[in-house]
C-alpha cells in the first residue's frame, strides 16, 4: 500500500542537447538530417542522398525529384549509400518518382549497399520494381544497355 508508482519512462537525468548526435542537429527540422546533392553524368542525373529519409525529410527529396523531372531530367540514379534510415514515406517518394519518370519514358535506378535498407526493398517487393546497384558506375553502365 505504501508503494509509490513512478510514471514511465522517467529519465534519471535530463538529456543535454550537446549529448545528441552533432550531425542530427544540423538538419532544418530539428533533430533530422538529410543532405541532398545532384550532378549530371553522361546525360544521367545522379542524386546523392545522405542521412534519414522519413516523414519529416521526405518532402525535400520529393521536391528535388519533381524539379528534376519537370526540367526533362528523366534518367535518374538515386545514390542511397549514405542513407542511414528509410521509412514508408521515403519508399512512397521513390515509387512516386519512378511513376513520374516512367510517364516521360525515363527510368530511376538506385544505388544501395546497406543491408537494412536493402531489406526494406526486399520485404516490400520493390527489388522487382527498381534496378538496385552497388555503385553509381554500375548503375550508369546498366542504363547504357
User: Which tens digits make up the pLDDT trace of 76-124?
Assistant: 999 999 999 999 999 999 999 999 999 999 999 999 999 999 999 999 9
For residue 3, being part of any structural domain is answered with no
The helices-and-strands tally (H runs, E runs) of the chain is: 4, 5
Query: What is the arrangement of strands in the sheet containing 75-86, beginning at the earlier edge strand?
Result: 34-41, 44-53, 75-86, 107-111, 131-133
pLDDT at 30: 47
For residue 50, being part of any structural domain is answered with yes
Please state whether the predicted TM-score (pTM) of the whole model is above 0.75: yes
pLDDT tens-digit series, residues 23-38: 333 344 444 589 999 9
Q: How many Cβ atoms are within 10 Å of 67's Cβ, its own excluded?
A: 11
pLDDT tens-digit series, residues 14-70: 444 333 333 333 344 444 589 999 999 989 999 999 999 999 999 999 999 999 999
Domain extent at residue 80: 28-143
pLDDT at 24: 34
> Residue 133 pLDDT more than 70?
yes
The residues, ordered by sequence, that sit 6+ positions from 123 with a Cβ below 8 Å of its Cβ are none
- 3-state DSSP of 5-38: CCCCCCCCCCCCHHHCCCCHHHCCCCCCCEEEEE
Whole-number Cα distances in Å, 20 to 14, 15, 24, 142: 12, 8, 8, 40
pLDDT at 144: 78
For residue 23, being part of any structural domain is answered with no
User: Do 117 and 83 contact (CB within 8 A), yes or no?
Assistant: yes
Q: What is the DSSP string of 76-104?
A: EEEEEEEEEEE-HHHHHHHHHHHHHHHHT
Total number of domains constituting the chain? 1
For residue 17, being part of any structural domain is answered with no
Residue 100 belongs to domain with CATH number: 3.30.750.24
Residue 5's pLDDT band (boundaries 50, 70, 90)? low
> Residue 1 pLDDT more than 70?
no
pLDDT at 25: 32
For residue 79, being part of any structural domain is answered with yes
Amino acid at each position: 500500500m505504501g508503494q509509490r508508482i513512478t510514471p514511465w519512462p522517467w529519465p534519471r537525468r535530463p538529456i543535454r542537447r550537446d549529448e545528441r548526435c552533432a550531425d542530427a542537429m544540423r538538419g532544418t527540422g530539428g533533430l533530422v538530417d538529410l543532405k541532398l546533392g545532384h550532378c549530371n553524368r553522361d546525360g544521367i542525373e545522379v542524386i546523392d542522398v545522405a542521412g534519414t529519409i522519413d516523414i519529416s525529410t521526405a518532402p525535400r527529396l520529393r521536391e528535388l525529384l519533381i524539379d528534376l523531372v519537370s526540367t526533362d531530367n528523366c534518367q535518374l540514379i538515386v545514390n542511397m549509400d549514405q542513407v542511414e534510415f528509410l521509412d514508408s514515406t521515403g519508399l512512397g517518394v521513390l515509387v512516386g518518382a519512378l511513376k513520374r519518370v516512367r510517364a516521360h519514358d525515363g527510368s530511376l535506378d538506385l544505388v544501395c549497399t546497406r543491408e537494412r535498407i536493402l531489406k526494406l526493398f526486399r520485404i516490400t517487393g520493390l527489388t522487382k520494381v527498381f534496378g538496385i546497384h552497388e555503385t553509381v558506375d554500375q548503375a550508369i553502365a546498366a542504363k547504357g544497355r
